Structure 1
Amino acid sequence: MPPPISTRSTATCWTLAAAEAFDPAGLITRAAELLEDHPDFLHAEQDRLALVLVDDLQEATLSQHRLLALLAKDRPLVAFAAPDSVVQGFRGARTDELHRFAQNYTSTTEATFLELAHGYRMPPQITKAWERIVQRVPLAAGLRGRTLEPRQAGNDDACQALAFENSTLEERFIAQRIVQLSLFENRSLSDIAIVVRNGSQVRSYSRFLEGQGIAVQVPPAEIPLKDEGAVRPLAGPSGIVLQQLGG
């Protein structure tokens, strides 16, 4: 049986979540502690899982590794990871734990590793640029993931690096380049992608390009769940209900 959770605790969690004042690592750690303190509950949850699939394991924190090990150790587990693609290091991602994958997730310390070495998206020139960059990234999980065979080169594949004095010049250049590709080289806007570092840059570039008359489609993942159109109308009533239950 799962451990009892009071409605007052649920209401408190809702209040903290609404204020974005909760600590994800703390919540995950607490979940792991509940499973450790209630073996029957842990075994019931383990029995529900015939196979565990994990994507982007390089982004996992120590608390996430702890919870995953509780649920999936010595059980069918398939995890995908790109050690040199971690972007959540400032939030506690521990890429070095990939080097201890077999030790963390099996009692026999034996695991099967499959390295995907054939590229399907980056052409040769971009692959070579990626290889030069990745050599400057410290090793966290050995040399796995650093061998890549590029796809067949196309007629117009190119890789170019440019430096700008400020973000305004950068935005203007990108807008001019998009217009050139669209009007003079018959490229569809849906074939053009802009990759930026963080959410604030997504908003900044979106506003600038839309101001220039260029249609922009932002990935849904960049929109916080609480701001989704289908979610916001439910947030208020749900909070009222939880307050009544907890009061």
Structure 2
Amino acid sequence: MTTAPTTRLVAAPLVEHEALGRGARPVLDARQQEAVDRAATGPARALVVTGAPGTGRTTVALEAAAAAVEAGLAPDDVLVLAANRRAAGELRDRLAVRLGRTAGRPLVQTPAAVAFAVLRARAGALGEPSPVLVSGPEQDLALAELLAGHAAGDVRGPAWPPGVPDVALGTRAFRDELRDLLMRAAERGLAPSDLAALGRREGRPAWVAAARVYEEYLDVMALAAATPDAGERLDPAVVVDAAVAALRRWDDDVPGVPCPSRRLVVVDDHQESTAATARLLGAFADRGARLLLLGDPDVAVQTFRGAQPTLVARALAPAPDGLGAEHVVLGTVWRQTAPLREVTARVAERVPAAGTVAHRRAEVPADRAAGPAARVAVLPSAAQEAAWVAHRLRRAHLQDAVPWDDMAVVARSGARATAVRRALAQAGVPVRVVGSDVPLRDEPAVRPLLDAVRVVLDAAALDADVATRLACSPLGGLDAVGLRRVRRALRAEELAGGGGRSSDALLVEALAEPGRAATL
């Protein structure tokens, strides 16, 4: 079974690594080979490898892990950390193909997954129930119920400042911001009282109010874990620190049971690591693990979730402030031409320095010096932008014989990727969306079903927005033009009958009472 070639539409941040010889040993340049040798068999306890985009940091990460195994290290003693699950899944497949052998535990994981595995091993050794990792949807549901109870008067809620209107408290966007604040506080070990004190000291009344919600949230989580057979419920923000504490107390708490440590820990995209991840690396290092940290502090995209790109340079500092790591700079950009390298270098120059900038001097090899110049198009609207992109793709394919598989469009966000995908499909450009981390509830195929179920069960009001989404979903089968025709027909019928209601109200009525649309 074959699939038609497609243009890739990528939702930023782009977390995709090109495979340089999947399943085969890639050809490394001198600096890459030096980094692999020093990480796999060198005497240094910590090595930092920095490089601009396209210099092969991920290739070095995988080759260092493979070289360590080929040098005699057991696969279970090697761990590669990735910034997120999508990157971890791709690197896991590539490393498995590269090694050609199996391991007793995953070789590539996220820091949270590693931490959770440590806590599960500890609970099993002590005969305790396994801990439970609270997912994002569960957190959102708990906060939604707490805020709904405040709004209904069941429990007295905090006094939110005037900048937070009551109408915002019931929205998902507010809950997302609130959850992010609470998780960042938990990640830094702040109790509700600490968050409230910090808010008063910094003049942030919203933080003081959020501390009240935080206290209630912790009580709810503690109550859920109060049953005899329930394990400890841990948020993703605190699971890493809980694992760090478990590793440091392992010999005292679980005597005679081997600690789940590693001998080589490789961190890809270390600029996306948080302070908690750095503490986890320190705990592994204290147990004898060698560390290989690869990153580019100029391309950090997870800072809003606690990532600290300064950790790359901090690892180079001598102890106790840092790890005293050795430093290798990858100086050749293999994935860009000279004009594109010039663009990325000029952008990087405007990024505040995070302690190390030697990687910005990377250059392209002589055989890649030529290449098309970068172009900038400023268009007056998003629709015209999408049309221009579609035109450029079609022109490249039809006139220049560029395969669809060799084209990619990078969108700023998942929402923008959806709009661009729709515009490209209407223009006859085959599209495959990759890299978008849209929650399941917001997927185009799922949201209409959830909307319909909520309306049927009277869990949500059928207002104009919901009616419009349902009408234009696969359930309703209308597009924008068809919906406009329906609205005009309903409005004309209303005016002919002497009424004056808006098309929004008429559309809601048509969906709520199917017989109402029989005259259309």
Q: TM-score, normalised by structure 1?
A: 0.77
After superposition, the C-alpha distances for 1:158-186 in whole angstroms (9 at most, x for unaligned) are 21122222221111110010011011111
Whole-angstrom CA distance in 2 between matches of 1:126 and 1:135: 14
Asked whether 1:93 is paired with 2:297, we answer no
Correspondence for 1:25 among 202, 222, 237: 237
Asked whether 1:60 is paired with 2:273, we answer yes
The letter for the 2-side match of 1:2 is R
The letter for the 1-side match of 2:415 is S
After superposition, the C-alpha distances for 1:82-131 in whole angstroms (9 at most, x for unaligned) are 11111111111101121210448889943221111101111111111112
- The DSSP-based 3-state class of the residue aligned with 2:292 is strand
Q: Are residues 136 and 154 of structure 1, via their aligned partners in 2, closer, same or farther at CA, if it must alter by over 3 Å?
A: closer
The letter for the 1-side match of 2:329 is E
Asked whether 1:38 is paired with 2:247, we answer no
The two structures, once aligned, show a CA RMSD in angstroms of 2.9
Whole-angstrom CA distance in 1 between matches of 2:318 and 2:410: 34
Asked whether 1:77 is paired with 2:291, we answer yes
Correspondence for 1:6 among 125, 129, 135: 129
Per mean C-alpha deviation after superposition, the further-off stretch among 147-156 and 81-90 is 147-156
Structure with the bigger RCO (C-alpha within 8 Å, sep 6+) is 2
Match of 2:387 in 1: 172
The letter for the 2-side match of 1:131 is A
Correspondence for 1:139 among 353, 366, 370: 353
Correspondence for 1:162 among 377, 382, 396: 377
Q: TM-score, normalised by structure 2?
A: 0.39
Whole-angstrom CA distance in 2 between matches of 1:154 and 1:89: 33
Indicate if the aligned counterparts of 1:69 and 1:104 stay in contact, CA closer than 8 A: no
Shift of 1:218: 2.0
Match of 2:19 in 1: none
The letter for the 1-side match of 2:269 is D
Match of 1:117 in 2: 331
Whole-angstrom CA distance in 2 between matches of 1:126 and 1:103: 33
Q: Which runs of 5+ in 2 are unaligned?
A: 1-120, 141-233, 442-520
After superposition, the C-alpha distances for 1:177-197 in whole angstroms (9 at most, x for unaligned) are 001101111111111111222
What's the % identity of the aligned pairs?
Answer: 24
Q: Which structure's CA Rg is the greater one?
A: 2
Q: Which runs of 5+ in 1 are unaligned?
A: 228-247
Q: Are residues 18 and 130 of structure 1, via their aligned partners in 2, closer, same or farther at CA, if it must alter by over 3 Å?
A: closer
Match of 2:11 in 1: none
Whole-angstrom CA distance in 2 between matches of 1:104 and 1:34: 26
Shift of 1:137: 0.6
Q: Select the structure that is richer in strand.
A: 2
Whole-angstrom CA distance in 2 between matches of 1:68 and 1:59: 14
Whole-angstrom CA distance in 2 between matches of 1:102 and 1:75: 17
Match of 1:230 in 2: none
Indicate if the aligned counterparts of 1:72 and 1:105 stay in contact, CA closer than 8 A: no
After superposition, the C-alpha distances for 1:41-83 in whole angstroms (9 at most, x for unaligned) are 697122xx23111100000011111112212345222121011
Indicate if the aligned counterparts of 1:54 and 1:78 stay in contact, CA closer than 8 A: yes
Q: Are residues 163 and 39 of structure 1, via their aligned partners in 2, closer, same or farther at CA, if it must alter by over 3 Å?
A: farther
Indicate if the aligned counterparts of 2:266 and 2:291 stay in contact, CA closer than 8 A: yes
Indicate if the aligned counterparts of 1:28 and 1:64 stay in contact, CA closer than 8 A: yes
